[in-house]
Amino acid sequence: MLRIALQKKGRLNEDSMALLKEAGIKFNVGSGKLVATCADFPIEVLFLRDDDIPQTVANNVADIGIVGENEYQEKQYELTIAKRLGFSKCRISLAIPKEENYTDLGWFNGKKVATSYPVILRNFFNEKNINAEIHEIAGSVEIAPGIGLADAIFDIVSSGSTLVANHLKEVEVVMKSEALLVAAPGISADKQALLDEIIFRINSVNAAKSNKYILLNAPNDKVAEIVKVLPGMKSPTVLPLAQEGWSSIHSVIGDKQFWDVIGKLKEAGAEGILVVPIEKMIL
């Protein structure tokens, strides 16, 4: 039985639960329950505050967990990053009152900076030889300069709207963050096999999301040119149509090349192009 630590509620909770669900791992979550089991996978979930997830995994109370890279860096536990999950993307930045004239990091010398990430900030300032005071607060960090608690802040930024609402401007991006699947170092072979299965399923789900299945028709004399344009998992499938002299071509295209490939297909004489989502893609 594997134990996973997930955020109880907040920014990471919904995407973490959705990802596991797509990977065929559904929990029987009752309201207020902090532990849940799964009917079709040998896994148990602990619902925690995100701040407590790195420690819980490091102490082997949970075997794996989903946590923001910012929290992982801040807590400094030796955990294995099993998979970067690509959601909850944000940056952790220094921001100052918008009317301040900012030229470089030297601005922070002698200033007081409010943050929930003192370790990351201390390391950054040390590395850059900045002598600033760090004032740790647990939340509502953006309010600190406005109420005279600090001169600047170091906090999570995504759209930037919280900064704007609090008359602040982002001046330095210190780190970028995304959700991580972390594991305790040295878990047993049995647990590692379950973790590998979860990663395999997540990869299949992610590959399916970033690819589309494409079907099109073409006259036989255009098939060779069209096949050159299509990437395909191995190579495109070419099947004869009932109508003499025509073929149906099937393939898989990645999101990144999608519109470029569609344009080239039309130029090469493709007709009746259909694009359909892929449920799972086994690599």
Ligand X SMILES: O=P(O)(O)OC[C@H]1O[C@H](OP(=O)(O)OP(=O)(O)O)[C@H](O)[C@@H]1O
Ligand Y SMILES: Nc1ncnc2c1ncn2[C@@H]1O[C@H](COP(=O)(O)OP(=O)(O)OP(=O)(O)O)[C@@H](O)[C@H]1O
Which positions lie near ligand Y, rule CB under 6 A?
7, 10-12, 49-51, 68, 70-71, 88-90, 156, 158, 177
All residues at 6 or more sequence positions from 99 whose CB lies less than 8 Å from its CB, including other chains: 167
115's enclosing H/E stretch is: strand 112-115
Site string for ligand X, 86-105 (x = CB under 6 A): --------------------
Q: Which does 160 bind (CB under 5 to 8 A by kind): ligand Y, ligand X, Mg ion, none?
A: ligand X
User: Pick from 15, 44, 51, 170: which binds Mg ion (CB under 5 A)?
Assistant: 51
- Max CA-CA distance within the chain? 81
Q: Which of 43, 45, 92, 156 binds ligand X (CB under 6 A)?
A: 156
* Cβ proximity to ligand Y, 5 vs 198, nearer residue: 5
DSSP 8-state symbol, 124: H
Whole-angstrom Cα distance, residue 173 to residue 171?
A: 7
Q: Which is nearer to ligand X, 11 or 112 (CB)?
A: 11
Quick count: other Cβ atoms within 10 Å of Cβ 225? 15
Residue 15 within binding range of Mg ion, rule CB under 5 A: no
To which residue do tokens 């896994």 refer? 43
260: left (phi over 0), alpha (psi -120 to 50) or beta: alpha
- Residue 159 touching ligand X (CB under 6 A): yes
**Segment 120 to 149, residues that bind ligand X, using CB under 6 A:** 139, 142
Residues in the site for Mg ion, rule: CB under 5 A?
Answer: 50-51
